[in-house]
Amino acid sequence: MSRFFPAKTRRSPFRPLATLIAIGAAIALNACASSPVALRGTADLATVIARASGEVAILDTSNKQFTGIIGGLGDLSHASIVYARDGRFAFVFGRDGGLTKIDILSHEIVARTLQAGNSIGGAISQDGKLVAVANYEPGGVRVFDTETLELVADIPTTIDGGPDRSKVIGLVDAPGNRFVFSLWDTGEIWIADFSAGNTPSVTRYQNIGIQPYDALITPDGRYYIAGLFGEDGMALLDLWHLQSGPQRILDHYGKGEERLPVYKMPHLEGWAIAGKRAFVPAVGRHEVLVIDTETWQEVGRIPVHGQPVFVMAHPDGRHVWVNFSVPDYDTVQIIDTQTLAIDGELKPGTGVLHMEFSPRGDQVWLSVRDDNKVVGYDPYTLKPIAELPLPSPSGIFMSDRAGRIGL
Amino acid sequence: MRKLHKTIGTLVAGWTFLVAGPAVASELQEHARTPSALEQMVRQDCGSCHGLTFKGGLGSPLLPENLENYSVEDLSSIILDGLPGTAMPPWRAIISESEAAWMARYLKTGGSK
């Protein structure tokens, strides 16, 4: 399969792509469900979203080339991907409410449903049987069977029992076949527990703070943390001790200081924990915050190049990488997690939207939107290892996410 | 004749100065974006919240039918000064008034320039 997407022969990102789409279509026509797929593992594969063309490219990080591309995925202007537990199938959440199951080996769409009008992301359950989507319109969470994409449960986020609904953000999976998510409009955290079957029991926590904009769960699945846009601080829910309810952390941060206009919402997915320190993007400030994960107190602020969007830890924990919002998104900075100093900087091109490390950290891949390319680096030498054309790339998702809580 | 030219020259220079305004604005003018750069910015950066197709996201939908009740001036001022209490930031630091008006017209006409 890898031979039909040779990176070296591609010059313009668009013309070869059209050819490839044609080839891809031809292959899709030839391939039926029983078509043989070259025997190989998926642990070195990643999916890369091409946001403007509604496609997902499959990146082979061993051979450093795309092995295929899957089109017809709708509006991917804000899209994300989770993996089935076998690491072969992936679920693509589109902006337009599209939920698509793809096969990253055969490069085919396995199932697709337009499940809402406007969506922001999703999660897969601990047992791999349920895939949940966070919806803006109509506000709520819809849960589907991962085999068939048939609707299993619908959880509308109604406001005071009326017709209005809140937008849902920060949907993650939690241990015990639970989904946890936050409500932008009403400042709540909800837990939908599917451990007893397909009819969830839903727990609501109200008054967690104004306008939670994104959330994450720690890699052990214990703490769910929602960032707040409408006020300073974050809401922390300890899933081991739910009776304590959500606690406010970092609420002193930025008090009395005027923050900058926030040109792009920071992302908390991919939260960086190195040792017992966590690194999070500050909202509306050119800073990365450092938090002690035992006390949840702020222990440092690192001045950076612009407003951070993603703060991602290298798998070895020695460094965290930071990218920035417009107009500073030509730069990536690398922070030493021991000294908290900026230890390196890259200028890969305009519009660096996302970064993803290979599972053991020998590579890092960056999507550079306006230069229509995906660039791989050796994170130790900061030397480029590959540059692959792809129109308007955004999220990059390594298949090892299949085995990780909260991703 | 020569004097007249000189007077016109001075007037033009003065007018340019008035239009360009303070240092920030003149800096923006020097780096004025081309229509294709503006289109890229509206689609991609505004599209982060409003959707690449402007059907909305965390931000409101920006299709022509959603903007019927807003003038180009209304929309320009929202782009430049933001909407307090929402996630819409003021873009004045990185977008000029003429660029904001271009974007407003672009959105109101459904992507024609």
Nearest C-alpha in B relative to A121: B57
How many percent of chain A have pLDDT more than 70?
Answer: 90
Peptide bond into A327 cis (omega under 30): yes
- Distance, in Å, from the CA atom of A283 to the CA atom of A264, rounded to the nearest integer, reads 9
- Does residue A29 carry a pLDDT above 80? no
Antiparallel, parallel or unpaired: β A212-217 and A373-378: unpaired
Query: Any CB–CB contact under 8 A between A52 and chain B?
Result: yes
Antiparallel, parallel or unpaired: β A287-292 and A298-303: antiparallel
- Does residue A342 carry a pLDDT above 80? yes
* Cβ contacts of A327 on chain B, cutoff 8 Å: 94
pLDDT band, very low/low/confident/very high, at A160 (cuts 50, 70, 90): confident
Task: Return the H-helix or E-strand segment holding A16.
Answer: helix A15-30
Test B58 with A265 for CB contact under 8 angstroms.
yes
If you count residue pairs, one on A and one on B, with CB atoms under 8 Å apart, how many are there?
70
Helices (H), chain B: 2-20, 23-30, 35-40, 47-50, 72-81, 97-108
Residue A30 has what pLDDT? 44
Residue A275 has what pLDDT? 77
Helix (H/G/I), strand (E/B), else coil: A231? coil
* Cβ contacts of B47 on chain A, cutoff 8 Å: 77
Q: What is the pLDDT of residues A59-99, one digit of tens each?
A: 999 999 999 999 999 999 889 999 999 999 999 999 999 99
- Does residue A339 carry a pLDDT above 90? yes
- Does residue A274 carry a pLDDT above 50? yes
- Does residue A314 carry a pLDDT above 90? yes
- Does residue A16 carry a pLDDT above 70? no
In 3D space, the residue among A160, A191, A161 whose CA is nearest the CA of residue A178 turns out to be: A191
Helix (H/G/I), strand (E/B), else coil: A274? strand
Residue among A51, A96, A184 minimizing CB distance to B55 = A96
Residue among B48, B52, B82 minimizing CB distance to A52 = B52
Test B89 with A263 for CB contact under 8 angstroms.
yes
Q: What is the pLDDT of residues A104-149, one digit of tens each?
A: 999 999 999 999 999 999 999 999 999 999 999 999 999 999 999 9
- Does residue A2 carry a pLDDT above 60? no
Test B57 with A118 for CB contact under 8 angstroms.
yes
**Probe site for chain A from B31, B48, B63, B99 (most A CB atoms < 10 A):** B48
- Distance, in Å, from the CA atom of A93 to the CA atom of A100, rounded to the nearest integer, reads 7
Residue B111 has what pLDDT? 78
* Cβ contacts of B43 on chain A, cutoff 8 Å: 52
Query: Any CB–CB contact under 8 A between B94 and chain A?
Result: yes
Q: What is the pLDDT of residues A204-231, one digit of tens each?
A: 999 999 999 999 999 999 999 999 999 8
At B110, list the tokens. Answer: 């459904």
* Cβ contacts of A79 on chain B, cutoff 8 Å: none
Query: Any CB–CB contact under 8 A between A231 and chain B?
Result: no
Higher pLDDT pick, A247 / A31 = A247
* Cβ contacts of A95 on chain B, cutoff 8 Å: 51-52, 55, 57
- Closest-CA distance of chain B to residue A262, Å: 6
Q: Which residues of B, range 2-41, sit inside 8 Å of A by Cβ?
A: 40-41
pLDDT band, very low/low/confident/very high, at A35 (cuts 50, 70, 90): low
Residue A266 has what pLDDT? 87
In 3D space, the residue among A287, A291, A293 whose CA is nearest the CA of residue A219 turns out to be: A293
Q: Which residues of B, range 72-91, sit inside 8 Å of A by Cβ?
A: 82, 85, 87, 89-91
- Does residue B27 carry a pLDDT above 70? no
Helix (H/G/I), strand (E/B), else coil: A202? strand
Query: What residues contact residue A97 under an 8 Å CB cut-off, 6+ apart?
Result: A114, A115, A116, A117, A118, A119, A133, A135, A137
ipTM score of the complex?
Answer: 0.77
Test B45 with A326 for CB contact under 8 angstroms.
yes
At B97, list the tokens. Answer: 């008034």
Region of B79 please: left (phi>0), alpha (psi -120 to 50) or beta. Answer: alpha
* Cβ contacts of A169 on chain B, cutoff 8 Å: 58
Helix (H/G/I), strand (E/B), else coil: A201? strand
Q: Which residues of B, range 39-58, sit inside 8 Å of A by Cβ?
A: 40-41, 43-45, 47-49, 51-53, 55-58
Place of tokens 């209304």: B74
Residue A276 has what pLDDT? 87
Q: What mean pLDDT value characterizes chain A? A: 90
